[in-house]
Structure 1
């Protein structure tokens, strides 16, 4: 039979578990147990807990039943409730009123009755009417009575806050919401100022107010502040379905600033939340925000694009029939706006007015703002980073305060207004600049940042960028590629675009079905696309497949060209896999110089020919491109002089062919190549100077030269620690690629930018940039690039303390690494994910991930056996690190089995100069002692502490030995064994008696133990 202790244990476990449907179900079961026992105290306590769980767990409507039971009980037997329970009842009552108002199925009369009961209850308890007026103001808005809402807000401001009021961060949201609905933008911003500036906060602030303030910030001419509020608050709400209404404000904002891609991405990510809306009003808000994003997508010409995710079916607040993932954006837009309008009409019927529908219609037709910064290339696509925000107004009044002289504030202040010097009332804190002035200022600042450079203040020339024409199919891609291959320095913007299109759209025909006569060209293009996707092994294999064909066309020159391209891919593959290049450097250098020497000799023969035939010209073009590849290989091998020599031979080849066979001006192409050699081979200053000089030669710089120059300046800036300069350069490189629609090159640029932001400790911006890059890479199926981004995002998540991100990206990286056969690194990232799960109090998942990491270790080696044993021990520790002691005890037997498996894993590893088996078994005992202490088995843990001490001291590891003794002191102290505990403390002091141990954590710990035992 269930006992009182069982119920209390269930409540304790649920409290530790956190809010959500699972917790609510556990507490609901505890309610039924309390009813079965007939224990009045527990019947009250469990229902208070259940009401709280429903309210906080996104199921607020379910809270009405347990709340009503407790309210009725309190009215009949107030003595059954202690003071803390009465205060909780105050909070539950005000929430109940809000829940009723937010759902049109609750009649207006019933809502009014609840309001009257709330006032009666608060007056009877002697509470301030601040909460009552605040709730009435919020409910008046839901009833479509904005004049009444304004009157109640004035009364709310005129009353004192008390212990029943929402916190200082949440309470003002009533006035922000009113100002949002009535489009009093300055009042909304002024009311939100304390939260926006960080003066006040709580568990749901500032992110909730930041979300609600997005449109007011934007409409009041503060686009930079709005963008920052969006970035900061979205990261906080993006994992909680309870934040659906906040998400709605973000979608509205993104639509109105023209960020269609980001809006669609977020909409798709969270569309399933519609089925979890906690009220009809939340659902209506979400439908409104999503409709605006879909509207802008349709206006951008994407109406026939498939939405790509299912619209969920739901019927709790309004019947949503659901839509397939293949449904077009235009149809989803039409359906969603229809649902929103019909749901708004339900509010209108209940309310007896059309205010809710009127607000919806104003929102659905609201024009987009011209708030995006002007892109220097003129195509309107630009990476936005955080910039200093616009000035915010003075905070608006939200509750009764008393001046220092004891006088109450004047009437204008109570209304959230201020007076000017002549005593005339005006809207709170007017802007010092107009929206257009603010936008112009932002563009100017963005332009200055983007065009700054090392060594001067003059901006770089504008980029002469015209977006390449679309590639219709694979045949067109091959033919455009062939045209580019006819010129020296073929890496034009259109060349990059064609390769990128093949890499992201899989346009080429299968092997064996190529266009007749273009077989090797198709193979080279396919290999270039694989290289773009960082699939180096596949690219090498493809070139080897078509090597005989190009050798047949060009003789040994064709084979040399393929071999240099593959050598370049080999070096890049080592870099990606983080393999040292030292073992292969000499061989590769010898191979590269041999190939380049043979090509240079052929160039000399060709340029000395008095009259080149077309075949000779084609050979010179191929030889020149091969030498440019060779110069890149030599640069990677730090052979500066040889690389510069190869470029000089390219110049001789270029002089011998007609100018129409040059991709661009050859002096620009070759000088940029020389700049890259200099900078990457250690002559950073001269390399950067030359790159800048190339970029300034013309009134408009070619996009390829601009992108290459920006990349070089960015990398060089990173090497010397000039992170702000690197950020500016990588940002412009990314802007060029995004504007041209070259996806994977843009991903690479964003990756560089994200890395620079992280190095500058601008973690929020780094995470946003890297996540954008990841989204592009995943859509393109570029798994190798996605792997690198997942790893960077896991690292950034650690820096930001975002355990969910660490777990998500570490696990994703581990899965890709496993697929690639990189087991050791996969195990490392599984351990990162396990640690994050442990920090999130998900001990069972953490234990499983540590186990998976252990299973990846190579037990054919001694180190693999040791690493497996250590990972298993971490799994056992995680398993018992549960939310409550009874739960931990229930897993002890399984933990013991894992620990025995861990001991067997390293049992056969012999001692070496750097390894002590005695130390290892001591460390095992240390973990075993912790596991037994965590499960309440203190008496068993004592001997393991002694064994751990002996093992550590085998190698004179006093630091670790002191940890074992500290646990011993803790065990004795918790068992009430004072003398034994003090003796263990004395052993720690003796162990760490030398002066260099002063301040050690173990000494501080035993001091605290000794203090408690006095």
Structure 2
């Protein structure tokens, strides 16, 4: 169908209401096709100018060159009637074109220089400042690595006056900051940026672009908290915009170099599909290089076994890709593009910059929100193993300290592990190192790894004929198998080792096996047998003069007493174990048992004692080994939970505890613990109404669970629910609704219909604000079903009321249907029993107000007036004066509808005298204006209308 020029222009104006992206670009491209079919016209110029903007802001800058050349040629020919605005916009777009040209290696430097010369000629001919020209020349020289030429143009740029062709007051200081940083002048750059950041932002790219440029200078200046905040704020803006691919590269680099490699992996995964559709080659190169840097750091930290999902593209299906494989691919991609730039630029600068980036080392160990200094327990200095000790001497030292001085034992085994890695560990010590690793993994790590090491040790001892050690590690293997699966036959292996060990002369080996047997019986749910075995182990250890092993057995005994519902005896036994560990001087064992006792207090709802015992744990000085950091993390988690249960989850103290827990989990390499701590941190941010921090933290929580294969579960749905609400508060409403509805489905599947209904209520309310009344109606209807399933009448009434509002906002509201819904809600409200959970009177008043408004829509004014007065009375009793004002205005409106103008005027004037909220004030004034008009007071009415609507 042929469209007229007027219709096409209207359609072009309508397209400007769409956000930049593929949809808007496609609409304007179609308009251009239809316009060109009509022949040369000013509209053809205007459409192309709009298309240039779509391409530039829609991550397709290479497509803008052709329409820009067309517009420039048409302008030069002067065949059409152009305005001063057309000329100014062309000058502005010329800056875009040159900025884009340097980012495409297929465009020669001669072409770039020719465009710059033409731009300068046009600016001079028009009497414009050379400010923008010098800026672009500076950027081109920077791209080439020519510091001297770039610095010269920078000086000219600063000394030239700004005019209408200059970048906005946010973008220009950002470019100047980048130049200062490139020249090694961080302080000058930050001094320039901060005043600009505090002032007018200028455009859609600010403040996020400036904050991104500030991240590294802030880190180097030691302003770590500000750097982290800049990263968080800026990335939140950039993440949904493919036009920000180069900025995302900066955020990836920031994560890689500040100890946030896992967050970097999350960001890379979220944006990996951009690699298949990059904005332009320069951003593509930067993104690939920074992504490769993140992956390299993950490999160095021992996470090379991780994988991520490579999204589908074209004929390629979505599939997992290993960290190492993707790193190689991204590295090759970045270097290949850099080589193309080098060929275009006739130097190697871009490749040199890229290789330096790929080899970058961290600027700080870990940069996040900092815990309160001194909150985490003080660490003892690490145990030093003298260099002169032989491997055999180290093994003997570590074995001797096995129970009495666990920190020294672990240090010895760690030293032997270094010797093994260097190929210098004697063969006869490999089994002993494997046994030590099995024991450590069983206590503090992975049961699967413990089994692997224990099997290797058993095999080694078999070949050496070392029966006592073979029995001990056989018991370790059996205990690990029992922990993995109580029905695996592991317990039988432990019993067999126990029987054989009774014939040994080494009492310490027998007692260790007895302890492993006690644990295995407990794992097999044979608690009575385990209690007897643990008590016997403690007694035998005491006789043998093994106080630490006695302490461990007593602690296990206490835990078992708690399991069989003898908590007071259990806590007393653990306290006795603590005393023994303290007397033996084993700090790490004392720390763990103190943490155990604190947890027992907490589990028995003795919160004050739990907090006091956790305080004692933080006062214990132990070497900061991985398992000690895991214990400290649990202590801080416990303290957070005590504060939460005491209603203090929004306190600064709770924030500090969550941060300290997260810090220790990360330091100990415990991913699952770190995820749970990040949930606690997210909950605290949420309750402090720190929506940005809450959203960022909860997203990391969810990513951590997904990476660990835990994409479902109560805590997962809690995190997604809170994330959805935080996103709504941040204005990310569509994403918020998605998370709220996903959480609702999760809670429903877990048999939590009331919680599911609450999520759906919030999702529906947001959908209604977004104008999605159909979605809102579905969400409120499902919420009603959930509340009825949960037998929660209060929620069902609210869901009915919201459903009525969704019907009212629909494209074709049915007054009868709306009335029926609010009538049901009111009828159910009248039957509500008294409850401490909600104010029954207020709910009835609110339902009555809805009925009154529905009756007014049906022109049943008398019945509506009675219900509105009921609402006013109910709200008054409930003390809700804002709702009193709103319902009182409704009474006045209904009196007007019934033509009782005197009573209507009296009612709305009374409302206005009481200084009502703004909404009620406007509604009351509207009714009053209509009353004045109806009673012949036209001048007063006109004044009121003018006050209301400026007419």
TM-score where L is the length of structure 1: 0.66
CA contact 1:755–1:766 (8 Å) conserved in 2: yes
Partner residue in 1 for 2:96: 95
Partner residue in 1 for 2:752: 822
Find out whether 1:168 has 2:134 as its counterpart. Answer: no
Equivalent of 2:615 in 681, 687, 692? 692
CA contact 2:594–2:616 (8 Å) conserved in 1: no
Cα separation, 2, equivalents of 1:519 and 1:897: 75
CA shift, 1:49, in A, is 2.9
Partner residue in 2 for 1:238: 239
Partner residue in 2 for 1:308: 308
CA shift, 1:274, in A, is 1.7
Partner residue in 2 for 1:342: 336
Partner residue in 2 for 1:10: 11
Partner residue in 1 for 2:915: 998
CA contact 2:801–2:822 (8 Å) conserved in 1: no
CA shift, 1:337, in A, is 2.2
Partner residue in 1 for 2:61: 60
Cα separation, 2, equivalents of 1:254 and 1:218: 12
Equivalent of 2:868 in 924, 932, 952? 952
Cα separation, 2, equivalents of 1:870 and 1:520: 66
Partner residue in 2 for 1:192: 193
Give the match's secondary structure for 2:788: coil
Change over 3 Å in CA distance of 1:607–1:25 after alignment to 2: closer
Find out whether 1:912 has 2:831 as its counterpart. Answer: yes
Question: Where do residues 432-443 of structure 1 align in structure 2 (5 Å cutoff)?
Answer: none
Worse overlay, 699-708 or 174-183: 699-708
Change over 3 Å in CA distance of 1:33–1:844 after alignment to 2: farther
CA contact 2:28–2:50 (8 Å) conserved in 1: yes
Change over 3 Å in CA distance of 1:513–1:301 after alignment to 2: closer
Change over 3 Å in CA distance of 1:93–1:265 after alignment to 2: same
Cα separation, 2, equivalents of 1:252 and 1:549: 46
Equivalent of 1:770 in 673, 676, 698? 698
Cα separation, 1, equivalents of 2:897 and 2:261: 68
Instruction: Decide which structure has the larger Cα Rg and report it.
Output: 2
Find out whether 1:369 has 2:344 as its counterpart. Answer: no
CA contact 1:103–1:281 (8 Å) conserved in 2: yes
Q: Write out per-residue CA displacement over residues 931-963 of structure 1, whole angstroms, 9 at most, x where no aligned residue.
A: xxxxxxxxxx79599986664345446866965
Equivalent of 1:729 in 651, 657, 662? 657
Cα separation, 2, equivalents of 1:33 and 1:801: 37
Cα separation, 1, equivalents of 2:578 and 2:40: 95
Give the match's secondary structure for 1:308: strand
Q: Write out per-residue CA displacement over residues 847-895 of structure 1, whole angstroms, 9 at most, x where no aligned residue.
A: 65456545645389776764554343344456x5xxxxxxxxxxx2488
Partner residue in 1 for 2:459: none
Find out whether 1:812 has 2:805 as its counterpart. Answer: no
Cα separation, 1, equivalents of 2:788 and 2:495: 42
Find out whether 1:742 has 2:670 as its counterpart. Answer: yes
Question: Where do residues 205-284 of structure 1 align in structure 2 (5 Å cutoff)?
Answer: 205-219=206-220, 223-284=224-285
Partner residue in 2 for 1:352: 346
Question: Where do residues 972-983 of structure 1 align in structure 2 (5 Å cutoff)?
Answer: none
Q: Which consecutive unaligned segments of at least 5 residues does structure 1 have?
A: 315-320, 374-382, 388-445, 452-458, 481-496, 522-545, 562-598, 613-617, 635-641, 881-891, 930-940, 972-978
CA shift, 1:372, in A, is 1.9
Cα separation, 1, equivalents of 2:132 and 2:100: 15
CA RMSD in angstroms, aligned pairs only:
5.5
Cα separation, 2, equivalents of 1:239 and 1:763: 18
Worse overlay, 827-836 or 682-691: 682-691
CA shift, 1:157, in A, is 0.8
Give the match's secondary structure for 2:763: helix
CA shift, 1:306, in A, is 5.6
Partner residue in 2 for 1:710: 636
CA contact 2:662–2:674 (8 Å) conserved in 1: yes
Change over 3 Å in CA distance of 1:136–1:924 after alignment to 2: farther
Change over 3 Å in CA distance of 1:1007–1:87 after alignment to 2: farther
Count, aligned residues? 805
Cα separation, 1, equivalents of 2:790 and 2:226: 57
Partner residue in 1 for 2:448: 473
CA shift, 1:244, in A, is 0.8
CA contact 1:837–1:846 (8 Å) conserved in 2: yes
Partner residue in 1 for 2:374: 448
CA contact 2:658–2:681 (8 Å) conserved in 1: yes
Partner residue in 2 for 1:494: none
Give the match's secondary structure for 1:517: helix
Cα separation, 2, equivalents of 1:67 and 1:944: 63
Q: Write out per-residue CA displacement over residues 124-172 of structure 1, whole angstroms, 9 at most, x where no aligned residue.
A: 4443221222223224444565544333322211111122322111012
Change over 3 Å in CA distance of 1:985–1:672 after alignment to 2: farther
Cα separation, 1, equivalents of 2:493 and 2:862: 76
Question: Where do residues 341-740 of structure 1 align in structure 2 (5 Å cutoff)?
Answer: 341-366=335-360, 368-372=361-365, 384-386=368-370, 447-451=373-377, 468-469=440-441, 471=446, 473=448, 476=451, 508=484, 515=490, 517=492, 557=528, 628=559, 631=562, 643-644=567-568, 646-648=570-572, 688-693=611-616, 695-696=618-619, 706-707=632-633, 709-717=635-643, 719=646, 721=648, 723-740=651-668
Change over 3 Å in CA distance of 1:946–1:150 after alignment to 2: farther
Question: Where do residues 29-68 of structure 1 align in structure 2 (5 Å cutoff)?
Answer: 29-36=30-37, 40=41, 42-68=43-69
Cα separation, 1, equivalents of 2:622 and 2:537: 36
Partner residue in 2 for 1:19: 20
Worse overlay, 44-53 or 158-167: 44-53
Cα separation, 2, equivalents of 1:107 and 1:76: 27
Cα separation, 1, equivalents of 2:58 and 2:902: 46
Equivalent of 1:872 in 790, 800, 803? 803
Change over 3 Å in CA distance of 1:989–1:28 after alignment to 2: farther
Cα separation, 1, equivalents of 2:797 and 2:699: 36
Cα separation, 2, equivalents of 1:906 and 1:776: 42
CA contact 2:48–2:67 (8 Å) conserved in 1: yes
CA contact 1:295–1:333 (8 Å) conserved in 2: yes
Change over 3 Å in CA distance of 1:11–1:631 after alignment to 2: farther
Give the match's secondary structure for 1:292: helix
Query: Higher relative contact order by CA 8 Å / sep ≥ 6: 1 or 2?
Result: 1
Cα separation, 1, equivalents of 2:379 and 2:308: 41
